[in-house]
């Protein structure tokens, strides 16, 4: 049998958790739900957001109980239930449903009584909702504000009466100036809570670049710790200009590289006032025994491994090396660090970049290991409330393609259009 992992199967955590959003409209619930979902999906804990607003718009006043039915969503570990859930009865209903299915519930409440914050949020988000298409924004905002007054009458904050103290919940009041964390059951929940506490909405961008073309890239070898090729050197020299152009000024960035020669050499010419930090966690996926081989050599020496990897590239672990799943686990602290940071430029490797890109752009694990990430191209990602904007800056310095199609052993081949990272 070809070793898919270490020959002992993939061990995934078996907890099932449902994140249930609680709070009045226009309190940023959808934003929080959306971010939690992205984080969990990336950690291979599949999750979905159920927005009750959407159901209402389709004449279904309440989501039907069937989305708790496990039979049609195999392997789903976590759901994010985004609705107001503003009464005790409603929360008990969710709780009972989940308990019946053996799913843990984490309530996340966003509570805000600051009238100005509420109105700002309404103007920002709600007036672009389909309900108000073609109306005057200010009038629409006021109308919405009046409509949600109705909810405020019946709204009960979690554990207001002291009889919900057995629930696991995170309650954030006035955008996190006061927080209650109750009965965290496991590490994953604590991780989600920490993640949500670290989110910030200050404008910032993340720049991603692969190292310049390396000598191993030229010969079609994977891994290694090779030097840059002459064209790779050119890219390193051009990078400062590319970055300045993209930043639009002399604002310094913090630069993160891996510990390998080719990324450090690529970042070498960046201005001295850019802080540089080397992370071991940004090193390329470890190909174990296949390190330094070409794909043809891998196919010749380890034919079973070659096939097994193409069958499930995300989970395949190189003999004595790593899988994409392993890489995501080791990148998790990096993502946490990224979320709390401001502007960062990351110079790293193909597999690592695919994983980081997948986090920001919500790419699923069956596709992300096959994405084309061209050499000599700077990517700027700007996270927004409901998605991430992407811009690309080409260095116009030729480089080989290191993309590889399923089953192929070619040294260099042109990527097929579907493999392109942008949609």
Partner 1 sequence: MQDQHHSASDDARPLYDTDDPGSTADIAANAPRYRRKSSTFIDGIHDVPEDANRAPAQLYSTMSGRLFHSGRIAIVMVGLPARGKTHISVSMARYLQWLGVKTRIFHLGDYRRATVGHGNDVPEDYFYPDASPASVMLRQKILKKCREDIYGWLNHENGQVAIYDAVNPTATGRRALAKEFAKHDVQSLFIESYVDDENILRENARSVKIGSPDFANMDPDEAAKLYLRRMGTKIPTFETMNEKELNYIKMINAGQKFFYNNVSFNYLSHRIVFYLTNTHIKCRATYFVRAGAALGEESYKADAPLSAEGFRYAQVMAETLIKHREQEHAALAAQGGTAVPMRQLTVWCSTRVRTAQTADAFEERGFKVRQRTQMSQINPGVCEHLSERAIRRIYPEEIEKHELDPYHHRYPRAESYHDLAVRLEPIILELEREQNDLVVIAHESVLRVLYAYLMHCSTMDIPKLTFPRDEIIEIIPAAYQNEAKRIHIPGLDPNTVPGSPEDIRIPVPDTSGADTPTLLPEPALSLSPPAELKTTNFEKPPEKVVNTAAEAVRDKIADED
Q: Which residues are catalytic?
A: 82, 211, 284
Only segment of 1-9, 50-58, 122-130, 358-366 that touches partner 1 (CB under 8 A): 1-9
Binding mask 154-183 for partner 1 (x = CB under 8 A): -----------x----------xxxxxxxx
Is residue 2 a contact point for partner 1 (CB under 8 A)? no
Rg (CA), the chain: 24
What is the distance, to the nearest Å, from the Cα of residue 290 to the centroid of all Cα atoms in its chain?
29
- Under DSSP, the state recorded for 104 is E
- Closest approach of Cβ 335 to partner 1, in Å? 12
Give the separation between CA 100 and CA 98, rounded to whole angstroms: 5
Residue choice 215, 329, 335, 419 for contact with partner 1 (CB under 8 A): 329
Binding mask 7-26 for partner 1 (x = CB under 8 A): xx--x---------------
Is residue 6 a contact point for partner 1 (CB under 8 A)? yes
* Contact between residue 256 and residue 279 where contact means Cβ atoms under 8 Å apart: yes
Give the nearer residue to partner 1 in terms of CB position, either 181 or 419.
181
- Closest approach of Cβ 326 to partner 1, in Å? 5
Residue choice 303, 320, 398, 407 for contact with partner 1 (CB under 8 A): 320
* Contact between residue 222 and residue 409 where contact means Cβ atoms under 8 Å apart: no
Give the nearer residue to partner 1 in terms of CB position, either 98 or 334.
334
Only segment of 214-222, 324-332, 370-378, 401-409 that touches partner 1 (CB under 8 A): 324-332
Is residue 264 a contact point for partner 1 (CB under 8 A)? no
Across 292-309, b (16+ Cβ under 10 Å) vs e yields: ebbbebbbeebeebbebb
Q: What is the secondary structure of 15-51 as a DSSP string?
A: --EEEEEES-TTSSHHHHHHHHHHHHHHTT--EEEEE
Report the chain's terminal Cα–Cα distance, integer Å. Answer: 37
Give the nearer residue to partner 1 in terms of CB position, either 312 or 326.
326
What is the footprint of partner 1 within residues 181-240 (CB under 8 A)?
A: 181-184, 186-187, 190, 193-194, 197-198, 225
Is residue 83 a contact point for partner 1 (CB under 8 A)? no
**Cβ contacts of 244 within 8 Å, gap of 6 or more:** 250
- Give the H or E element holding residue 380: strand 377-384
Give the separation between CA 135 and CA 133, rounded to whole angstroms: 6
Is residue 288 a contact point for partner 1 (CB under 8 A)? yes
Give the nearer residue to partner 1 in terms of CB position, either 144 or 324.
324
Give the nearer residue to partner 1 in terms of CB position, either 178 or 245.
178
* Contact between residue 357 and residue 208 where contact means Cβ atoms under 8 Å apart: yes
- Under DSSP, the state recorded for 260 is S
Question: Where along the sequence are the contacts to partner 1 (CB under 8 A)?
Answer: 5-8, 11, 165, 176-184, 186-187, 190, 193-194, 197-198, 225, 259, 277, 280-281, 286, 288-289, 291, 317, 319-321, 325-326, 329-330, 332-333, 340
């Amino acid at each position: 049998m070809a070793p898919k992992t270490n020959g002992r199967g993939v061990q995934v955590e078996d907890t099932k958790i449902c994140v249930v959003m609680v709070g009045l409209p226009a309190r940023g619930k959808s934003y929080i739900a959306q971010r939690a979902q992205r984080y969990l999906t990336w950690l291979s804990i599949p999750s979905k957001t159920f927005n009750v607003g959407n159901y209402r718009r389709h004449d279904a006043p309440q989501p039907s109980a069937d989305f708790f039915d496990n039979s049609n969503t195999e392997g789903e570990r976590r759901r994010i239930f985004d609705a107001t859930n503003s009464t005790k009865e409603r929360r008990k209903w969710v709780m009972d449903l989940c308990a019946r299915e053996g799913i843990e519930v984490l309530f996340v409440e966003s509570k805000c009584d600051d009238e100005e914050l509420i109105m700002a949020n309404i103007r920002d988000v709600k007036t672009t909702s389909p309900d108000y298409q073609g109306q005057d924004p200010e009038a629409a905002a006021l109308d919405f504000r009046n409509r949600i007054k109705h909810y405020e009458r019946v709204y009960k904050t979690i554990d207001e009466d002291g009889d919900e103290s057995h629930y696991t919940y995170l309650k954030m009041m006035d955008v996190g100036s006061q927080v209650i964390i109750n009965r965290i059951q496991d590490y994953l929940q604590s991780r989600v809570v920490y993640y949500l506490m670290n989110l910030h909405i200050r404008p910032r961008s993340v720049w991603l670049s692969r190292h310049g073309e390396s000598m191993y890239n030229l010969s079609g070898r994977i891994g290694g710790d090779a030097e840059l090729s002459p064209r790779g050197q050119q890219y390193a020299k051009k990078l400062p200009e590319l970055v300045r152009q993209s930043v639009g000024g002399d604002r310094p960035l913090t630069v993160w590289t891996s510990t390998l020669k080719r990324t450090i050499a690529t970042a070498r010419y960046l201005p001295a006032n850019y802080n540089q930090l080397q992370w071991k966690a940004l090193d390329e996926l470890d190909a174990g025994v296949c390190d330094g081989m070409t794909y043809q050599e891998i196919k010749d020496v380890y034919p079973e491994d070659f096939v097994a990897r193409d069958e499930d590239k995300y989970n395949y672990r190189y003999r004595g090396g790593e899988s994409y799943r392993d890489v995501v686990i080791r990148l998790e602290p990096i993502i946490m660090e990224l979320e709390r940071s401001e502007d960062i430029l990351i110079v790293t490797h193909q597999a690592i970049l695919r994983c980081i890109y997948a986090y920001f752009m919500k790419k699923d694990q069956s596709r992300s290991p096959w994405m084309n990430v061209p050499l000599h191209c700077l990517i700027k990602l700007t996270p927004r409330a409901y998605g991430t904007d992407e811009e690309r800056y080409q260095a116009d310095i030729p480089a080989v393609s290191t993309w590889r199609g399923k089953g192929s052993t070619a040294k260099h081949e042109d990527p097929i259009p579907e493999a392109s990272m942008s949609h």
